[in-house]
A and B are shown apart, each in its own frame.
Chain A
Amino acid sequence: GAGVSQSPSNKVTEKGKDVELRCDPISGHTALYWYRQSLGQGLEFLIYFQGNSAPDKSGLPSDRFSAERTGGSVSTLTIQRTQQEDSAVYLCASSPGPWNEQFFGPGTRLTVL
Chain B
Amino acid sequence: GQQLNQSPQSMFIQEGEDVSMNCTSSSIFNTWLWYKQDPGEGPVLLIALYKAGELTSNGRLTAQFGITRKDSFLNISASIPSDVGIYFCAGPNSGGSNYKLTFGKGTLLTVNP
Contacts and interface: CB of A to CB of B under 8 A. Distances in A.
Interface of A: 4, 31, 33, 40-45, 48, 50, 56, 58-59, 91, 93, 98-99, 101-102, 104-107
B101 interface: yes
Interface of B: 4, 6, 40-45, 48, 88, 90, 92, 97-106
Contacts of A45: 100-102
B88 A42 contact: yes
A101 B43 CA distance: 11
A41 B106 CA distance: 7
A4 B43 CA distance: 12
A91 B42 contact: yes
Contacts of A44: 103
B45 A101 contact: yes
B103 A107 contact: no
A4 B97 contact: no
In the A-B complex, the 10 residue pairs with the closest CB atoms = A104-B42, A42-B103, A43-B103, A42-B105, A98-B99, A45-B100, A104-B43, A105-B42, A42-B104, A106-B41
Contact of A56 (B6, B41, B45, B97): B97
A29 B103 CA distance: 22
A71 to B, nearest CB: 21
B99 A42 contact: no
Contact of A99 (B6, B43, B98): B98
Given A41-B105, A42-B4, A101-B48, A59 B100 contact: yes
Given A42-B88, A43-B43, A102 B100 contact: no
